């Protein structure tokens, strides 16, 4: 099994390299003046690795047009070329540069996922906070609706809605945002329900504060930590759902570079022993793992500060 | 005993109500479409005559509630109408594929459930050891992998060398072993996707109990750690474990869609994805209803079983 051992060595080597990079990054973070660097003192290596990866993705997605050697949709050479010096990761099924599309994919996939999560958050958190604050029939009506919507498996629901409205990026964003908003609503309502029974809310109500003040100045700051963590987790679910749909050919449509559809288009290469099509999938996996690591640390910190 | 039956009956009734509302959503989503399904599907170039003929064929000229009860009544006896794309009865399209999908889901569950229970119990037994930490990082990682990534890694490692086929094109005339062999990679993919979550929860459920007084007592009696966990902690951790198993089996239903497409497995998931692309509404509605039925049924089963596993709830005074 020399091939297997070689693979194993690669995996171990990569893990060690990641740990070293994460350690250096954490060391650099701690050089920032004390008041700012405080949270980084107790940061585990996994979290610093996650943070580094998230920052890296953000930079790449913003600078994609500058870094990418070729255009997103530009056909540069023959199909399925192997890795070489001109086309660092070879070319894809239509002869487009793989590396360039991977970089542009960061912009498209991550950007669309971020936008979708943002919409889902506003559409879920606002009614959730409202339901918890107002209670009564508003709460009942919203909660029962969400209960029913959540009883349908998300991917199946997305497929059903996409059949009806047709497949396009806008439709997909709206459909996924709607589905994920139900999950956000659940959490926002549950967390806020614990806050509204506090004495300071009662005091604010007796002072005669309005609903907007109550939610914006009293409830929101006290529910921020779990909501921010939820944003990270939701983002992971959204990017997995979007890439699953794109992989099935129902999400982001070609010729837009997107990681899910890139795997689908080049999948035949895998059976020939070429790992290039795995790279976009690995890019998704790396990002979701990184976000999970950061969220894990944030949740730990949030719970530690409360004690 | 009657209290248990009463509770079970009320849960089943609630489940049926949920299903009824889901069927309303699946049917009603179509009604929310601005304009008309006929116009939407036939496109702008269709003449008014073809649109009218198409509407009549679908029964779109009848009021919504009549169509809904027709559809639901048909669905209850397995008649979902005809496919819009090729005119064949939907039940005919689904029949063979439903069996294949169930086969795959059961196959995956038979590997995943014992495996994750075993790994979870071991992680609880050797908690905070190197093994536990490794398993922890491994599961956190595999939870965040897209299904198709896991599937293609398996193809790269196991199918490329010719060990297993990368396409699981099974057919009804194959023997059981042939089916098991061809379905191995999809089943393994599904196993990897759900095992992580199940074993994490098993570990958490058992460790939660380890602080209880009776575990302390067992430890003071000098029992072996494996005996404490298997005989004292495990029976009390059953309720959350059953719950998480059922939830993950329900999750298998969603995972099966992507995995079937990767391995070209002739199941319901693939049929549904093809039909979404063709906007074959009747087939998609039928698939959605069946998937939702399985999802609700599994959740209901979890609810009932976890109550039954708790003697305090069964023999309530």
A296 CB contacts (<8 Å, ≥6 apart)?
A46, A47, B140
Chain B nearest C-alpha distance from A269 (Å): 10
Q: Does A286 touch chain B (CB under 8 A)?
A: no
Measure the CA–CA gap between A250 and B296, rounded to whole angstroms.
26
Q: Does A297 touch chain B (CB under 8 A)?
A: no
Report which of A273, A281, A274 is spatially closest to residue A247, judged by C-alpha positions: A281
Please report, for residues A299, B70, B185, the alpha-carbon distance to residue A161 in angstroms, rounded to integers and kept in the order given: 34, 22, 30
CB contact under 8 A, B29 and A151: no
Q: Could you give phi then psi for residue A96, rounded to 5 degrees? A: -95, 150
Positions of chain B with pLDDT lower than 70, given as ranges? 1-2, 32-44, 58-59, 313-314, 316-317
Which residues is A75 bridged to in the sheet? Answer: A96
Residue A34 is predicted with a pLDDT of 65
Measure the CA–CA gap between A248 and A282, rounded to whole angstroms.
17
Chain B nearest C-alpha distance from A268 (Å): 10
In terms of Cβ atoms closer than 10 Å to its own Cβ (0-12, 13-18, 19+), residue B271 is buried
Report which of A216, A144, A221, A226 is spatially closest to residue A191, judged by C-alpha positions: A226
Positions of chain A with pLDDT lower than 50, given as ranges? 305-307
By Cβ distance, the residue of A154, A247, A272 closest to B148 is: A247
Measure the CA–CA gap between A5 and A10, rounded to whole angstroms.
9
Measure the CA–CA gap between A220 and A226, rounded to whole angstroms.
11
Measure the CA–CA gap between B275 and B294, rounded to whole angstroms.
20
Chain A nearest C-alpha distance from B100 (Å): 18
Residue B33 is predicted with a pLDDT of 64
pLDDT tens, residue by residue, A222-276: 888 888 888 988 999 999 999 999 999 888 887 888 898 888 888 888 878 788 8
Task: Please confirm whether the linkage preceding A113 is cis (ω < 30° from 0).
Answer: no
A147 to chain B: closest CA residue: B18
A101 CB contacts (<8 Å, ≥6 apart)?
A72, A92, A257, A262
Measure the CA–CA gap between B197 and B204, rounded to whole angstroms.
11
Contact residues, chain B, for A236 at CB < 8 Å: 144
Residue A113 is predicted with a pLDDT of 93
Residue B99 is predicted with a pLDDT of 87
For residue B90, the tally of other CB atoms under 10 A from its CB is: 25
Interface of A with B in 139-158 (CB under 8 A): 148-149, 151-157
Contact residues, chain A, for B149 at CB < 8 Å: 263, 278, 281-282, 284-285
By Cβ distance, the residue of A155, A271, A285 closest to B155 is: A271
By Cβ distance, the residue of A153, A160, A263 closest to B284 is: A160
The secondary structure of B180-249 as a DSSP string is HHHTHHHHHHHHHHHHHHHHHHHHHHHHHHTTSHHHHHHHHTT--HHHIIIIIIHHHHHHHHHHHHHHHH
Cα A166 to the center of its chain, rounded Å: 24
Measure the CA–CA gap between B168 and B103, rounded to whole angstroms.
13
Please report, for residues A57, A165, A227, B221, the alpha-carbon distance to residue A173 in angstroms, rounded to integers and kept in the order given: 21, 12, 21, 59
pLDDT tens, residue by residue, A65-99: 888 888 878 887 777 778 887 788 888 888 888 88
Residue A233 is predicted with a pLDDT of 87
Report which of B9, B24, B72 is spatially closest to residue B300, judged by C-alpha positions: B9
Q: Is A91 helix (H, G, I), strand (E, B) or coil?
A: strand
Contact B277, A249 (CB under 8 A): yes
Residue A267 is classified by DSSP as: G
Measure the CA–CA gap between B27 and B19, rounded to whole angstroms.
12
Q: Does A1 touch chain B (CB under 8 A)?
A: no
Q: Is A97 helix (H, G, I), strand (E, B) or coil?
A: strand
Contact residues, chain B, for A153 at CB < 8 Å: 250-251, 253-254, 291-292, 295
A186 CB contacts (<8 Å, ≥6 apart)?
A128, A146, A150
Measure the CA–CA gap between B242 and B34, rounded to whole angstroms.
44
Measure the CA–CA gap between B271 and B287, rounded to whole angstroms.
8
Long-range contacts of B285-289 (CB under 8 A, 24+ apart): B285/A160, B285/B26, B285/B27, B285/B30, B285/B71, B285/B80, B286/B75, B286/B80, B286/B90, B286/B91, B286/B94, B287/A156, B287/B94, B288/A152, B288/A156, B288/A157, B288/A159, B288/A160, B288/B26, B289/B22, B289/B23, B289/B26, B289/B75, B289/B80
Query: From the candidates A15, A44, A53, A163, which should be mutated to test the interface with B, based on the most B CB atoms within 10 A?
Result: A163
CB contact under 8 A, B253 and A163: no
In terms of Cβ atoms closer than 10 Å to its own Cβ (0-12, 13-18, 19+), residue A95 is middle
Q: Does A219 touch chain B (CB under 8 A)?
A: no
Q: Where are the alpha helices (DSSP H) in A135-152?
A: 136-150
Query: From the candidates A5, A6, A11, A151, which should be mutated to test the interface with B, based on the most B CB atoms within 10 A?
Result: A151
């Amino acid at each position: 099994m020399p091939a297997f051992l070689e693979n194993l060595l690669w995996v171990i080597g990569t893990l060690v390299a990641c740990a070293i990079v994460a350690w250096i990054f954490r060391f650099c973070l701690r050089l920032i003046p004390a008041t700012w660097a405080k949270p980084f003192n107790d940061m585990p290596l996994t979290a610093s690795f996650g943070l580094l990866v998230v920052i890296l993705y953000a930079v790449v997605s913003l600078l994609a047009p500058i870094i990418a050697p070729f255009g997103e949709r530009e056909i540069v050479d023959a199909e399925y070329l192997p890795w070489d010096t001109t086309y660092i990761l070879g070319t894809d099924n239509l002869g487009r540069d793989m590396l360039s599309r991977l970089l542009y994919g960061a912009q498209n996939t991550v950007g669309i996922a971020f936008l979708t999560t943002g919409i889902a958050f506003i559409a879920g958190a606002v009614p959730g906070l409202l339901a918890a604050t107002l209670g009564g029939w508003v709460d009942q009506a919203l909660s029962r609706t969400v209960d029913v919507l959540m009883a349908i498996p998300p991917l199946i629901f997305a497929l059903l809605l996409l059949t009806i409205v047709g497949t396009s990026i806008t439709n997909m964003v709206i459909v996924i945002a709607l589905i994920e908003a139900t999950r956000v609503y659940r959490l926002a309502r549950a967390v806020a329900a614990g806050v509204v029974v506090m004495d300071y809310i009662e005091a604010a109500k007796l002072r005669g504060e309005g609903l907007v003040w109550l939610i914006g100045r009293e409830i929101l700051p006290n529910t921020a930590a779990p909501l921010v963590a939820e944003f990270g987790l939701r983002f992971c679910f959204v990017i997995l759902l979007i890439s699953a749909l794109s992989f099935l050919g129902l999400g982001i449509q070609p010729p837009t570079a997107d990681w899910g559809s890139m795997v689908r288009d080049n999948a035949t290469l895998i059976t020939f022993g070429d790992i290039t099509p795995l790279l976009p999938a690995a890019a998704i996996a790396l990002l979701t793992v990184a976000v999970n690591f950061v969220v894990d640390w944030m949740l730990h910190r949030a719970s530690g500060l409360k004690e | 005993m009657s209290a248990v039956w009463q509770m079970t009956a009320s849960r089943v009734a609630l489940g049926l109500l949920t299903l009824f509302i889901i069927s309303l959503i699946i049917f009603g989503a179509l009604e929310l479409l601005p304009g008309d399904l006929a116009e939407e599907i036939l496109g702008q170039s269709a003449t008014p005559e073809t649109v009218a003929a198409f509407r009549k064929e679908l029964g779109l000229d009848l009021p919504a509630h009549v169509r809904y009860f027709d559809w639901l009544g048909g669905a209850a006896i397995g008649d979902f109408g005809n496919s819009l794309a090729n005119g064949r009865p939907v039940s005919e399209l689904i029949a063979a594929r439903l069996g294949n999908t169930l086969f795959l889901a059961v196959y995956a569950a038979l590997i995943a459930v014992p495996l994750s229970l075993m790994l979870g119990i071991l992680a609880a037994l050797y908690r905070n050891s190197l093994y536990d930490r490794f398993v922890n990082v491994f599961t956190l990682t595999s939870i965040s992998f897209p299904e198709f990534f896991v599937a293609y890694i398996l193809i790269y490692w196991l199918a490329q060398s010719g060990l297993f086929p990368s396409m699981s094109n099974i057919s009804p005339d194959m023997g059981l072993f042939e089916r098991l062999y061809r379905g191995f990679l999809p089943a393994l993919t599904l196993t990897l996707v759900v095992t992580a979550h199940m074993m994490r929860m098993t570990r958490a459920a058992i460790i939660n109990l380890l602080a209880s007084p009776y575990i302390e007592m067992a430890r003071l009696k000098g029992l072996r750690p494996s005996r404490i966990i298997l005989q004292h902690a495990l029976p009390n951790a059953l309720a959350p474990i059953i719950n998480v198993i059922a939830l993950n089996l329900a999750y298998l239903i969603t995972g099966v869609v992507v995995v079937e497409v990767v391995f070209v497995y002739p199941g319901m998931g693939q049929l549904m994805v093809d039909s979404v692309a063709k906007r074959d509404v009747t087939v998609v509605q039928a698939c959605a209803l069946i998937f939702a039925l399985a999802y609700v049924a599994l959740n209901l089963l979890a609810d009932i079983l976890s109550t039954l596993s708790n003697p305090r709830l069964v023999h309530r005074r």
